[in-house]
Structure 1
Amino acid sequence: MLAFVFLIAQTAIAQEGMPIYSDYLTDNYYLIHPSMAGAANCAKIRVTGRQQWFGDDDAPSLLTANINGRIGESNSGIGAIFYSDKNGYHSQSGVYLTYAHHIMFSRTEVDLNMLSFGLSIGALQYKLDETAFIDEPFDPIIAGIEQSATDFNIDFGFSYFLYNFYAHATVKNMLKNDGVNSNENGLYVYDNPREFLLSAGNVFQKYGSEWSFEPSLMFMYKDGTKESSIDINGKAFKQMDFGVLWGGISYRRSLDGAEYQDGTEIASQNLQYVTPFLGINYDQFMFAYTYSYQANSVVYNNGGFHQLTLGFNFACKKERYHCNCPAVN
């Protein structure tokens, strides 16, 4: 029973704001870091669809769509994110609007040395569908209708690029969730959805080689529940005649264990995900597939988490930097 509660709690906590999975690794860093709006040479459109536990009714699912790009020839960028997240009888949808500014420290654009700041303002609507409960035994808390509430929040972050190296730091959901005090039906899990994200990586390539490799890390801390986790990622790129073929693997591990009853003993386990992914860039189009497997002894379902990402680059400019920096060039 304790293990089941642990699994449900992990899913519920992920629903406070847009869930953070591994989709940022599919050339989608703007989805979690507002400072990436307009950082690249191209304006970008990315659409993702994620489905968990195929075959289970009301299993969690997530749809996101985002667009970002530079404002003309300026050093500023703008972007927008739309998402819809469903988990059983709970669901939420939201929109974020972003402004970012990029400061060049190098004398010319040939050598990449750039600091970026980004601010996103979001409007989120939470829903709890209680219509399926009207035939259950009477409970004064159950209204038998679709409850909803709207909230606003802010994300702020910065990114730094130096040749092939990059680092990001973002605070998501900076504002407290006041709706928890006015809603008695559990639409909000807690009133502090603030999250801290730190990520860094570097691209390595031997001179003249068609291959390049990108190790990276991401650390995530949830202020409201004092939980933390780390992503360890490895990514490889292969230059092809038609574009770029790339793929890799990500390992996410929670740094906080949860106890559960194993027979007559109390055991502990940490949440773990293993996520291989594969993508292709063809001309101005991008396609990627991601599969996540929960590698725990006790799980709700042995089925995986499937995600597709479609992308389109437009308004592209000539590559400005002599670096192996796929997120920018």
Structure 2
Amino acid sequence: MKMKNVLAIVIGVFFTHIAISQEGLPIYTDYLTDNYYLIHPSMAGVANCSKIRLTGRQQWFGQDDAPRLLTLSLNGRIGDSQSAFGGILYTDKNGYHSQTGAYVTYAHHLMFSRSEVDLNMLSFGLSAGLIQYKLDETTFLLDSPIDDPAIDGIVQSRGNFNIDFGFSYHYLDFYAHATVKNVLKNKGINTDIDPVNQTDNLRRYLLSVGYVFNKYGSEWSYEPSVMLQYRDATEEASIDVNAKVYKQMDFGKIWGGLSYRNSFDGAEYLTTSNSVRSQKLQQITPIIGVNYNQFMFAYNYTYQTNSLVFTNGGYHQFTLGYNFNCKRKRYECNCPAVN
């Protein structure tokens, strides 16, 4: 087998960790840009402001049909109640596959402290989503001289419904989130092409834990956190190890951070000497951001550190945000996601 073909196979398998085309909204590091609601429905309306966030992500600049993602999210409290609503629209394209989805979220927040000064809150969130998958086969028959009965040469389309459920707990400067994504069983769009290797179990488990440190009277605060994710069907797991730093300014705050993602599972490949090696997904993502009055801007760049990669070009992502209907800061805590 030619080395070029081996690399193509390995890359196709390996990048399923980061470019899932049939599992709903992809999970990147955009949640670190003041956007935890993207992955945890229980974070809808947790802050003292309603939030709009727009993100754009482009992978592998210069490559045709490279993965790209656009998301638009909105969440906020219903008046002064403990209930909140949210919504997410997104479009994700990866080569011949694409998906468009919309989620609606309801969240409820329970206060355990006797006053709003001390933060002690448990939140629950439920998201319901409609996702339309597409597979563009219009060029498949042109590229292959062999007639394949599994290829219709059209744009295949299928819609699915699924739900996400999770909870969040905030206690002073500590927080924890747990979410089950794609609770219901359903399939994507390749069910007729490869029914043996298809699964209707798209369930994914997410767990995030973090703490914000701050010395009394200091303008600086520090936030280490981790995020674990586990895919039920394939038993794949990965971890994000994150560190962020904030500096309070007259106009708002500036902040930055670093995220390291490591997969616990690897993919095997052949070297030029026909020896078998294995590598695991490893990514480093620096993040910078600024909050100016009610506006927010952030940028992150993801670089894959593996020796065998599709291209050396990284992944660029921009986030624009706006906060509105803001209330006073209710809690005496270093909790940027809440206050």
Q: How high is the TM-score relative to the length of structure 1?
A: 0.96
- C-alpha change, 1:32 and 1:58, in structure 2 (3 Å) is same
What displacement does 1:242 show? 1.9
Cα deviation 1:11-61 (Å, max 9, x = unaligned) = 346222111000000000000000000100000000000000000000000
User: Which of the numbers 313, 320, 337 marks the counterpart of 1:327?
Assistant: 337
- Give yes or no for contact 1:213–1:235 (8 Å, CA) kept in 2: yes
Q: State the one-letter code of the partner of 2:253.
A: V
Equivalence for 2:153: 144
- C-alpha change, 1:196 and 1:2, in structure 2 (3 Å) is farther
2:41 aligned with 1:31: no
What displacement does 1:264 show? 2.7
How many angstroms apart in 2 are the aligned matches of 1:234 and 1:275?
11
What displacement does 1:283 show? 0.4
- Give yes or no for contact 1:3–1:259 (8 Å, CA) kept in 2: no
Report percent identity of matched pairs: 64
What displacement does 1:186 show? 5.6
> 255-264 vs 29-38, which deviates more?
255-264
Match of 2:213, SS state, is coil
How many angstroms apart in 2 are the aligned matches of 1:265 and 1:132?
36
Q: State the one-letter code of the partner of 2:63.
A: D
- Give yes or no for contact 1:12–1:189 (8 Å, CA) kept in 2: no
Equivalence for 1:165: 174
Match of 1:134, SS state, is helix
Q: State the one-letter code of the partner of 1:173.
A: N
What displacement does 1:5 show? 2.6
2:80 aligned with 1:73: yes
2:90 aligned with 1:83: yes
Q: State the one-letter code of the partner of 2:9.
A: V
2:15 aligned with 1:5: no
Equivalence for 1:206: 215
Q: Which runs of 5+ in 2 are unaligned?
A: none
Structure 2 counterparts to residues 253-264 of structure 1, below 5 A: 253-262=262-271, 263-264=273-274
What displacement does 1:266 show? 1.0
- C-alpha change, 1:209 and 1:320, in structure 2 (3 Å) is same
How many angstroms apart in 1 are the aligned matches of 2:7 and 2:234?
17
Structure 2 counterparts to residues 1-329 of structure 1, below 5 A: 1-12=5-16, 14-15=20-21, 16-135=23-142, 136-137=144-145, 138-178=147-187, 183-185=191-193, 189-262=198-271, 263-329=273-339
How many angstroms apart in 1 are the aligned matches of 2:65 and 2:292?
35
What displacement does 1:243 show? 1.3
Cα deviation 1:155-185 (Å, max 9, x = unaligned) = 00000000000000000001111566x9414
Cα deviation 1:183-213 (Å, max 9, x = unaligned) = 4146995311100000100000111111100
Match of 2:125, SS state, is strand
Match of 1:9, SS state, is helix
Q: State the one-letter code of the partner of 1:5.
A: I
How many angstroms apart in 1 are the aligned matches of 2:329 and 2:34?
17
How many angstroms apart in 2 are the aligned matches of 1:229 and 1:4?
23
- Give yes or no for contact 2:304–2:314 (8 Å, CA) kept in 1: yes
How many angstroms apart in 1 are the aligned matches of 2:9 and 2:326?
48
Match of 2:46, SS state, is coil
How many angstroms apart in 1 are the aligned matches of 2:216 and 2:162?
45
How many angstroms apart in 2 are the aligned matches of 1:192 and 1:130?
25
Q: Which runs of 5+ in 1 are unaligned?
A: none
How many angstroms apart in 2 are the aligned matches of 1:141 and 1:129?
13
Count of aligned positions:
328
How many angstroms apart in 2 are the aligned matches of 1:40 and 1:170?
18
- C-alpha change, 1:12 and 1:92, in structure 2 (3 Å) is farther
How many angstroms apart in 2 are the aligned matches of 1:59 and 1:94?
19
- Give yes or no for contact 2:126–2:166 (8 Å, CA) kept in 1: yes
